[in-house]
Amino acid sequence: MSDLRKVIIDETELEVDGSMTLIQACEEAGIEIPRFCYHERLSIAGNCRMCLVEIVGGPPKPAASCAMQVRDLRPGPEGQPPVVKTSSPMVKKAREGVMEFLLINHPLDGINEEWISDKSRFV
């Protein structure tokens, strides 16, 4: 028996299994979420933080979509389905911060020199 839940992801209403993670529900909606550490065959680590999404009416900070299940979302104040935003300004800023942190700790210059590239396409 499945536990179907309604959720609105980027203005698209879906009905998905409550045991799905938000990243899986987003994929079902055709929305690609950036990730470095998530793979459906591995245990959930949630370490890279690139898969952040905004839960409207939820915590005031982005949530890791790989580590949160659809059943964990609370409905809106009048019982409407929970709303998830994958490209809001808050999410974009958070992902930029995560990427900046990762690049500070793992500079691209060494990679370019190792692979004989003139310059990085990411800079």
> What CATH number does residue 8 fall under?
3.10.20.740
Per the structure, the count of domains in the chain is 1
Q: State the average pLDDT over residues 25-43.
A: 86
Q: Residue 119: inside a domain, yes or no?
A: no
3-state secondary structure of 18: coil
Q: Is residue 121 part of a domain?
A: no
Residue 59 counted as domain residue:
yes
Q: State the Cα–Cα distance between residues 72 and 118, nearest whole angstrom.
A: 47
Q: Is residue 104 part of a domain?
A: yes
Tell whether 75 is covered by a domain. Answer: yes
Confidence (pLDDT) at 1: 47
Per the domain annotation, does 122 fall within a domain?
A: no
* Domain enclosing residue 41, as ranges: 4-114
pTM of the model: 0.79
* End-to-end CA separation in angstroms for the chain: 49
Residue 120 belongs to a domain = no
- From CA 123, how far away is CA 89, in angstroms rounded? 21
Q: Is 5 helix (H, G, I), strand (E, B) or coil?
A: strand
Give the pLDDT mean for 20-29.
Answer: 93
**Structure-block tokens of residue 21:** 């993670």
Residue 67 falls within a domain, yes or no? yes
Q: To the nearest whole percent, how much of the chain has pLDDT over 90?
A: 54
